Amino acid sequence: MTDPNLVARLVSVLVALAVSTGTTHAAAPPNVVVIFIDDLGYGDIGPFGATKQQTPNLDRMAAEGMKLTSFYAAPVCSVSRAQLLTGCYGVRVGVPGVYFPAGPKGLNPAEVTIAERLKSLGYATACVGKWHLGDQPEFLPTRQGFDRYYGIPYSNDMQRVSVATGQRVVPLLRDETVAELLTDEMQTAIVEKSTAEAVRFIEEAKDGPFFLYMPHTAVHAPIVPGKRFQGKTQNGKFGDWVAEVDWSVGEVLDAIRRLKLADNTLVIFTSDNGPWVGVVGDATTAGPLRGSKGSTWEGGVRVPTIAWWPGRIKPGTTCDAVAGTIDLLPTCVKLAGGTVPSEPVIDGRDMSGLLLGSSPESPRYAHFYFLGEGLQAVRKGRWKLAIASQASGMGIKNALAPEPASLDQPRLYDLDADIGETTNVAASHPEVVADLKALAAAMQQDLGNPQSPTRRPPGIVANPQTIYPTVLQSPKQSKEPKGTGSARE
């Protein structure tokens, strides 16, 4: 006779064996690298049609990975960074506009960033590049889930006159300490320094998992390509700087290959907003898209994006489903084996199905286009409905008057047939207009309403200081608007 206790013991041993085998064979959480270029237009790189400069490393990345052709950021820098890091529209987390040095506001330390979520899942984390979510110590990357930080903490055109040197400079931080004060001339080394720092982090964290967030200072004006790249393209300094960014991408991907991490590393390349045509001019371009940085026309917010993960993402593919930076947090947490709690609310959705080819459908029912705190448009599938006047971009001289629209008199575009948003087809599609109007009205009630309980506050500090001693500029000299949080750069 069999001893029932023995049977029970045997069963429990077998179950334990099965569980431990399953655990052993489960895929290790992937490393994640997000390369986030500043002000790179939809048409500025080879895989998205650029002809004015060559980008061989990005061409190879796209050939080995997936192009995402309907991937959305935000119209301006700080908002775009808040979105990527929190998985929320900027207005939800109190970041509707751009921050300036020594402002009192920043991304609320209470917000849980993608770095904090991945860190809690055992990831080593680093931020290398432009932070731009507040420069006070309370707001720095090291307080938002990053083990380390190296970079210029805001835009490279936010120079102030240093008391120490008498020169107009921006600070280069290591963690929370000013390592160097950079003149515009010294800024020409920023891509090379950032690339070296990124590769060093990958080497040190190779036993993984790691999360590297690399928001480049490039290619935001002032345009300061590295000396090795100056004069290398037919597209002036801007083209040269894009070429240097392309080199940097190659260095990062080469490091990943050399360390034999490619089959377990997801790399996303994207941009924070459209091209700054108003300042850089025609060297930068949104390609076939209408509008530029600062606008909710497609050219202001649809950004050139490539996802690379050899063995997991099918090579040479293109995905036109609607996705965006707000989806990176839930996607990466899912891939890392974690879950995002239902509270606090986020707007992004897990898009790993698009990347891994298990689902061609966007994980979101719609995408909403905000400028500042105002909702300007909504996209569902191929259709985009504009419900507010849209300017063509920031700083454009002799710009055409914004094209008017309202919730009662909206404009409708078929983006599949008319990617350049040239023809309002609202009159021919009343049922589509009604559907998208209802979505827009609901979002107006939610995030469009300053009293909405679903909007969360920014962080605010008393007595903010510049992070290096600066000569006080008279208001006439100062380019910055009063307060912070404006939708301007």
Q: Which residues are the active-site residues?
A: 77, 132
Sort strands 31-37 and 210-215 into parallel, antiparallel or unpaired.
Answer: parallel
- The contacts of residue 399 (CB under 8 Å, 6+ apart) are 278, 391, 392, 393
Return d(Cα 97, Cα 484) in angstroms, integer. 8
Backbone phi and psi for residue 206, each to the nearest 5 degrees, phi listed first? -60, -25
Name the one residue in this structure whose structure tokens are 């982090």.
201
The smaller minimum CB distance to Mg ion, of residues 45 and 77, is found at 77
Number of neighbouring beta carbons within 10 Å of residue 448: 19
The smaller minimum CB distance to Mg ion, of residues 39 and 116, is found at 39
Reading the block at residue 132, the tokens are 């731009």
Name the one residue in this structure whose structure tokens are 């991907």.
253
Name the one residue in this structure whose structure tokens are 């045997």.
10
32 preceded by a cis bond (ω within 30 of 0): no
The smaller minimum CB distance to Mg ion, of residues 135 and 272, is found at 272
CB–CB of 323/354 below 8 Å? Answer: yes
344 preceded by a cis bond (ω within 30 of 0): yes
CB-based closest residue to Mg ion: 77
Which residues of the shown chain bind Mg ion in the complex (CB under 5 A)?
Answer: 38-39, 77, 272-273
Rounded to the nearest whole angstrom, what is the least distance from the CB of residue 88 to Mg ion in the complex? 18
Rounded to the nearest whole angstrom, what is the least distance from the CB of residue 481 to Mg ion in the complex? 17
Backbone phi and psi for residue 130, each to the nearest 5 degrees, phi listed first? -85, 120
CB–CB of 245/36 below 8 Å? Answer: no
Rounded to the nearest whole angstrom, what is the least distance from the CB of residue 305 to Mg ion in the complex? 15
Rounded to the nearest whole angstrom, what is the least distance from the CB of residue 62 to Mg ion in the complex? 22
Return d(Cα 377, Cα 382) in angstroms, integer. 13
Reading the block at residue 185, the tokens are 């001339």
Backbone phi and psi for residue 321, each to the nearest 5 degrees, phi listed first? -70, 150
The smaller minimum CB distance to Mg ion, of residues 38 and 347, is found at 38
The smaller minimum CB distance to Mg ion, of residues 382 and 488, is found at 488
Rounded to the nearest whole angstrom, what is the least distance from the CB of residue 40 to Mg ion in the complex? 8
Rounded to the nearest whole angstrom, what is the least distance from the CB of residue 277 to Mg ion in the complex? 13
The smaller minimum CB distance to Mg ion, of residues 77 and 346, is found at 77
Reading the block at residue 247, the tokens are 């080199």
The smaller minimum CB distance to Mg ion, of residues 394 and 426, is found at 394
Backbone phi and psi for residue 366, each to the nearest 5 degrees, phi listed first? -165, 165
Rounded to the nearest whole angstrom, what is the least distance from the CB of residue 77 to Mg ion in the complex? 4
